Amino acid sequence: MNSAPMILLVLVGIVLLFGIGVVVFNRRKSALPESIEESAPVLVPKVVEAPAASPASVAVVSEVAVEAEEPEPTPGAVRRFARAAGIFNGSFAVLRGKDKITSETWEELEETLLRADVGLTTTTALLESLKSRVGRKDISTPQELLDALQGAMAGQLSSNSRELQFDSSVKMPNIWLFVGVNGVGKTTTIGKVAFAQKALGRSVLLAAGDTFRAAAGEQLETWAQRAEVPIVRGNEGGDPSAVIFDAVQSAAANNRELVLGDTAGRLQNKSNLMEELKKVRRVAEKEAGTVTEVLLVIDATTGQNGLSQAEQFALATNVTGVVLTKLDGSAKGGIVFAIETQLGIPVKLVGLGETIGDLVPFDPEEYVRELFAEA
Partner 1 sequence: MFDNLSSRFESILKKVRGKGRLTEADVDEVLGEIRAALLDADVNVGVVRNVVARIREAAVGAELSQALDPGQQIVKIVSQELTAMLGGETLKISYASKPPTVVLMAGLQGSGKTTSAAKLARWFKSQGRHPLLVGADLQRPAAVEQLRTLGKQIDVPVFSEPGDPVTTATRGLAEARRIGKDVLIVDTAGRLSIDADLMDEIRRISDAVTPNYTFLVIDAMTGQDAVNTAEAFHNTLAIDGVILSKLDGDARGGAALSVKEVIGRPIAFAATGEKLDAFEQFHPDRMAGRILGMGDMLTLIEQAESVFEKEEAEKTAAKLFEGEFTLDDFLDQLQQVKKMGSMSNIMGMIPGMPKAAKGAEIDDSMITVTEAIIRSMTLEERRRPEIINGSRRNRIAKGSGTTVPDINKLVKQFTEMQKMMKRMGGMAALSGGKANKKGKPGKVNPLKMAKAMREMGLSDLAGPGGGMKGFPPPGNNPSGIPSEGFPDFRDFR
Ligand X SMILES: Nc1nc2c(ncn2[C@@H]2O[C@H](COP(=O)(O)OP(=O)(O)OP(=O)(O)O)[C@@H](O)[C@H]2O)c(=O)[nH]1
- What is the side-by-side strand order in the sheet with 204-207? 231-232, 204-207, 258-261, 174-179, 290-299, 321-325, 347-351, 359-361
* Contact residue for Mg ion among 91, 112, 187, 197 (CB under 5 A): 187
Choice from 142, 173, 261, 265 touching ligand X (CB under 6 A): 265
Q: Are 341 and 156 in contact (CB under 8 A)?
A: yes
Return the one option of partner 1, Mg ion, ligand X, none that residue 372 interacts with (CB less than 5 to 8 A, by type).
none
Amino acid at 159: S
Give the span between the Cα atoms of 247 and 176, in whole angstroms: 12
User: Which of Mg ion, ligand X, partner 1, none is residue 41 near (CB under 5 to 8 Å by kind)?
Assistant: partner 1
The interface with partner 1 within residues 24-83 (CB under 8 A) comprises 24-43
Could you say which of partner 1, Mg ion, ligand X, none residue 34 binds, taking C-beta under 5 to 8 angstroms by partner kind? partner 1
Q: Which of 167, 210, 328, 340 binds partner 1 (CB under 8 A)?
A: 328
Q: Tell me, what DSSP letter sits at residue 165?
A: E
Contact 268, 285 (CB under 8 A): no
What is the per-residue burial (b if ≥16 Cβ within 10 Å, else e) of 283-301? bbbeebbbbbbbbbbbbbb
- Closest-by-Cβ residue to Mg ion is 187
Q: Interface with ligand X includes 210 (CB under 6 A)? A: yes
Q: Which of residues 337-356 bind ligand X (CB under 6 A)?
A: 351-354
H or E stretch covering 187: helix 186-199
Q: Which is nearer to partner 1, 289 or 333 (CB)?
A: 333
Least distance to partner 1, CB of residue 130, Å: 19
Query: Quick one: which of 104, 138, 228, 354 contacts partner 1 (CB under 8 A)?
Result: 354
Residue 351 contact among Mg ion, partner 1, ligand X, none, beta carbon within 5 to 8 Å by kind: ligand X
Beta carbon nearer to partner 1, 132 or 269: 269
Spatial separation of the C-alpha atoms in residues 183 and 357, rounded to whole Å: 19
Q: Residue 351 and residue 192: Cα distance in Å, rounded?
A: 9
Q: Going by C-beta distance under 8 Å and a sequence separation of 6 or more, which residues neighbour residue 28?
A: none
Rounded Cα–Cα distance for residues 202 and 317 (Å): 25
Give the residue among 291, 275, 65 at the shortest CA–CA distance from 167.
Answer: 291
Calpha distance 80→346 (Å, rounded): 22
Q: Is 222 a binder of ligand X (CB under 6 A)?
A: no
Among 45, 55, 155, 183, binds ligand X (CB under 6 A): 183
User: What is the x/- site pattern for partner 1, positions 113-152, by CB under 8 A?
Assistant: -xxxx-xx--------------------------------
Residues 252 and 22: their CA atoms lie apart, in Å, by: 61
182 binds ligand X (CB under 6 A): yes
Binders of ligand X among residues 114 to 133 (CB under 6 A) are: none
**Residue 326 touching ligand X (CB under 6 A):** yes
> Binding segment for Mg ion among 20-28, 115-123, 184-192, 233-241 (CB under 5 A)?
184-192
CB of 192 to ligand X, least distance (A): 8
Please, which residues have CB within 8 angstroms of residue 133's CB and are 6 or more apart in sequence?
139, 148
Helix 271-284 and helix 305-317: axis angle, to 10°?
Answer: 40
Closest distance to partner 1 from the beta carbon of 208 (Å): 11
Candidates 68, 148, 283, 331; binder of partner 1 (CB under 8 A) is 331
322 binds ligand X (CB under 6 A): no
Contact assessment for residue 269 and residue 151, using Cβ atoms and an 8 Å cutoff: no
What is the C-alpha end-to-end distance of the chain, expressed in Å? 58
Binding partner selected for residue 352 from ligand X, Mg ion, partner 1, none, CB under the kind-specific 5 to 8 Å limit = ligand X
Task: Out of 117, 276, 311, 328, name the contact with ligand X by CB under 6 A.
Answer: 328
Footprint on this chain of ligand X (rule: CB under 6 A): 180, 182-188, 210, 213, 216, 265, 297, 325-326, 328-329, 351-354, 358
